[in-house]
Amino acid sequence: MSRLIEEKEGFPAVLMGNEAIARGALEAGVDVAAGYPGTPSSEIVENLSKVAKERKLYVEWSTNEKVSLEVAAAASFANLRALCAMKQNGVNVASDFLLHLAGSGTRGSLVLVACDDPGALSSVNEGESRHFARLVEVPLLEPADFQEAKDMTKWAFELSEELKTLVMIRSVTRMSHASGNVKYGRLPEKKAKASFRFDGPFLDSQTGPVISFPVDYKHKIIHEKLKKAREIFESSPFNTYEGPKKPELLILTSSVCTLYTREAIHLLGAEKRVGVLKLGTTWPLPPKLVKKHLSMTDKILIVEEVIPFMEETVKILAAEEAREIGIKTFYGKNDGTLPMTGELNPDIVIAALSKILNIPYQAMAPEFEKKVEAATASLAPNRELTFCPGCPHRASFWSIHSALQMDNRKGFVCGDIGCYGMGFFPCGFNVIKILHSMGSGLGLASGFGKLDAFGMDQPVLAVCGDSTFYHAELPPLVNAIHNRANVTLLILDNSGTAMTGFQPHPGLDVNAMGEEVPAVDIAGICKTMGAKVEIGDPFDQQETRRAINRLMEEEGVKVLILRQSCALSPEKKNKKKFEMRVEQSRCIGDECSCNRLCTRIFKCPGLVWDKEKKKSQIDEVICAGCGFCTAICPAGAIVKKEAVN
């Protein structure tokens, strides 16, 4: 049984932020949970799926974030309690429905957890989801530690039920993926029954039909709900103040920035000079509470990630109240005290405080700093991004690269979101030249594929993964076929949502709860739509390269599905298909005209260059035994032997 439910009330656990959020949902009696995997949000739905049977939940990995929010909303409309979780990009995907959902209102509680990634630690942007709360006008909560992540999630369900609106919780990577102490609360009895009522009055969203129309009327109702939210937030226990009664500086902060702020004050010994108003309810702001604290002093610092979101709302409030509370000096992102981009950390907050309060601080004694620079300079080369040993993507990109070289018409690849996005980098031989959001690779390729009328004669390729295919490739695929774009789509099918931890997707015959479900066949979809479809094995280097060259010559939309499961997939992990060896008598090392093709260009971490022998070697600890590298050595020195498992 999952440790999330096997312990009793009062149990002192150490939980990851995402586990704490999942536990909070369980304590709120969540009935339905849906989401689409995305770092740093995946563990929320994943943990709920593990306890689905015991806690009588329906949990699904939906095809994309918009669908997941619709699935969760349906549960709310049928008077169940539902949660939906996604990473920041997912909120962009779901935003069209989100706006209408704010207008229609909800019935059973509905909580959206959005996990942002300040600093883009595992994203290609550091976009914010918080502004969506303001844009569509729903309440926004931000937990500042692990206990709060649990308690606030539970409360979000109650708040949603009370206000009849979606409530948004915003986490960040350093909260979702960090761990800390959480004391368990009670798990409720579950006896929810689903039923959708629609026979009530037209304007009654609780019993009548559900719609954001008439807009004028429903928009006013949104604002009544926000007014009520403000009143509730005035006395929320998630908004706390610590510090002196008349601080020299007041800090307003939220989320994990609260922990950075506390650490900074502690290290500078500024406890008697600085007060901290930690806000858990960050939109709409509770005006009286904020006003009361702004009155305490004239200097205000706002510490938050990433955009100056609170900074703007607090400044508006301060301007409105200036007659009573006086003119303030604001420090934050707009004046450059804190950086406008990237994630924060204790040292950045220390630097800001040190400047405002004029307290000198040195993270390292200058003497030690000099010594550490001297002792370690150039000794720790960076670890650039690379594919795992045995990754089928490295093999696919090798063949794509060879095919483009042989074709020699300056063909290029439109990339998409997944591990294979690293095809932008040397590990994918830089074949991806353009990369945006999920599904955009094929959409862009569809556009490029029509530019022959303007003299563009470069072959256009696109890559996408299997999970991404279901998420966002269908509309651009239809578009490319219908509009006769010339595109070669390579679907790198590694049998799961690999980058985020092998969550199942519609191509598999199992769902999030481990039940058997019908698999939706990628090849069948593409064929039915009218594309030419071929299927290959990326580890067959010669045939893959040939197939790509052949398809690039043809008109219209051609799909090549390169199928080989991820090297880290449960069925492959720690099992070598081949024992690999570099036949030392055949490897002529530096003398070979290949100019170290294997380690200089191919660069699988499983192959290392022996500097003394000046020959290539297999690192048996690292090598995953996929066998692909036998195909790249012109001397035939890399040999494979079937492994005994």
Partner 1 sequence: MKKSQSLKDPLNIILAGVGGQGNVMASRVLANMLSIKGHKITIGETFGMSQRGGSVMSHIRVSDTSTWSPQIPKGRADILIALEPIEALRVMRIYGNPDVKVLVNTRPIHPVGVIAGDFDYPSLETIQKALSALTPNVWMLDATDEAMKLGNPILSNIIMIGAVVGLNLLPLGAVEFKAAIRNFFPEKLLSVNQQAFEIGRNKVMQ
Q: Which of 96, 231, 583, 619 binds partner 1 (CB under 8 A)?
A: 619
Decide if residue 1 touches partner 1 (CB under 8 A): no
Q: Considering only residues 364, 456, 519, 643, which one is a binding residue for partner 1 as defined by CB under 8 A?
A: 364
Spell out a b/e string for 240-249, using b for 16 or more CB atoms within 10 Å of the CB, else e.
ebebeeebbb
From the centroid of its chain, how far is CA 168?
16
Minimum distance from residue 451 beta carbon to partner 1 (Å) = 32
- For partner 1, the binding residue among 319, 372, 406, 643 (CB under 8 A) is 372
Stretch that binds partner 1, among 98-106, 196-204, 218-226, 255-263 (CB under 8 A): 255-263
Our CB check for partner 1 shows the closer of 227 and 370 to be 370
- How many Cα neighbours within 13 Å face the side chain of 480? 33
Residue 426 CA: distances (Å) to CA of 32, 55, 398, 416, 600: 43, 47, 11, 16, 10
Cα–Cα distance between 296 and 249 in angstroms, integer?
A: 9
Q: Is 259 in the site for partner 1 (CB under 8 A)?
A: yes
Q: Is 359 in the site for partner 1 (CB under 8 A)?
A: no
Residue 376 binds partner 1, judged by CB under 8 A? yes
**Residue type for position 224:** E
643 binds partner 1 (CB under 8 A): no
Q: 548 by DSSP, 3-state: which?
A: helix
Is 621 a residue that touches partner 1 (CB under 8 A)? Answer: yes
Residues 109, 160: contact at Cβ < 8 Å? yes
User: Among the candidate windows 209-217, 278-286, 542-550, 614-622, which touches partner 1 by CB under 8 A?
Assistant: 614-622
Using the rule CB under 8 A, which residue among 74, 529, 622, 631 binds partner 1? 622
CA distances (Å), origin 255, targets 237, 247, 283, 562: 15, 22, 13, 42
Cα distance between residue 562 and residue 554, in whole Å = 18
CA-closest candidate to residue 155, choices 137, 169, 144: 169
Helix, strand or coil for residue 216? helix
Tokens of 270: 């500024």
In order, the DSSP letters of 353-387 are: HHHHHT----SS-HHHHHHHHHHHTTTS------P
Closest CA to 170 of 133, 199, 204, 196: 133
CB of 376 to partner 1, least distance (A): 4
Separation CA 24–CA 489 (nearest Å): 42
Q: Is the Cβ of residue 141 or residue 350 nearer to partner 1 in the bound state?
A: 350
And the tokens for 244?
């002196």
Shortest spacing between CB 230 and partner 1, in angstroms = 28
- Classify residue 33 by its DSSP letter: E
Q: How far is the CB of 108 from partner 1 (least distance, A)?
A: 32
Report the site for partner 1 in 520-579 (rule: CB under 8 A): 568, 574
Indicate which single residue of 10, 360, 366, 381 sits in contact with partner 1 (rule: CB under 8 A): 381
Structure tokens at 157: 């369900």
Q: How far apart are the first and last CA of the chain?
A: 30
Distances 245 to 82, 253, 445, 642 between C-alpha atoms, Å: 41, 18, 61, 74
Is residue 422 near partner 1 by the rule CB under 8 A?
Answer: yes
**Is residue 360 a contact residue for partner 1 (CB under 8 A)?**
no
# of chain residues touching partner 1 (CB under 8 A): 65
> Are 244 and 262 a contacting pair, CB within 8 Å?
no
Binding mask 108-147 for partner 1 (x = CB under 8 A): -------------xx----------------------xxx
> How far is 86 from 65, CA to CA, in rounded Å?
7
Per-residue three-class SS string for 441-457: HHHHHHHHCCHHHHCCC
**Residue 215 CB, nearest approach to partner 1 (Å):** 42
Other CB atoms within a 10 A radius of the CB of residue 554 amount to 11
Q: Which of 38, 33, 85 is nearest to 438 (CA)?
A: 38
Judged by beta carbon, residue 380 or residue 644, the one nearer partner 1 is 380
At closest approach, how far in Å is the CB of 387 from partner 1?
7
- The residues in 460-499 that bind partner 1, with binding defined as CB under 8 A, are 498-499
CB of 266 to partner 1, least distance (A): 9
| Binding residues for partner 1 restricted to 3-42, rule: CB under 8 A | 3, 12, 14
Smallest separation (angstroms) from partner 1 to the CB of 374: 8
What mask of x and - would describe binding to partner 1 in positions 495 to 524, judged by CB under 8 A? ---xx-------------------------
Stretch touching partner 1 by CB under 8 A, among 30-38, 284-292, 546-554, 618-626: 618-626
177 in contact with partner 1 (CB under 8 A): yes
Residues forming the site for partner 1 (CB under 8 A): 3, 12, 14, 121-122, 145-147, 174-175, 177-181, 256, 259-260, 262-263, 267, 345-347, 350, 363-365, 368, 371-373, 375-376, 379-389, 419, 422, 426-427, 498-499, 568, 574, 596, 599-601, 603, 605, 607-609, 619, 621-622
